[in-house]
Amino acid sequence: MTRNTLIGADLIAHLRSQITLEEVAGMVLVSFDRLLWFDEQAILWSIENLIPADVLQEMQRITSVAVYQQLIRKGYVPGKDISVDAKGKLLVKAKMTTVA
C-alpha cells in the first residue's frame, strides 16, 4: 500500500523464483481481491506500474477461463454467445443480456 515499485518488483521477482507463473498470477489475483476492500485505486496503480506483462497475461488467462465457465453454467452457448480467441481473450456477443 506504500506504492513503492522497488518493493513490489522485488516481491514479484522473489515469488517468480519460488513458484510458477500461474501461481504468481493467482496470488496477485487473491491479493487484488483483498486489496479491493481497502484501496481499489491501488489495484489500478499496480496494474499500470508494477505487475509485469507476462503476469498480467496469465491473470487474464485465469480469469477468462473462470468467467467463460460461469457463463456456460448460466446458459450461454459457446461459439454462439461467447468464445475465446487464440490468445485466450474472452469474446462476448454485444447483444447478450446482463449476467447475474
- pLDDT at residue 51, as a whole number: 92
- pLDDT at residue 67, as a whole number: 86
| DSSP assignment string, 1-22 | ----HHHHHHHHHHHHHHS-HH
C-alpha cell at 11: 516481491
Most confident of 22-31, 55-64, 70-79, 90-99: 22-31
Cut 0.85: pTM above it? no
Residue that is written with C-alpha cell 510458477 in the block: 20
Burial of 93 (C-beta count, 10 Å sphere; 0-12/13-18/19+) = exposed
Mean predicted confidence (pLDDT) in 66-80:
88
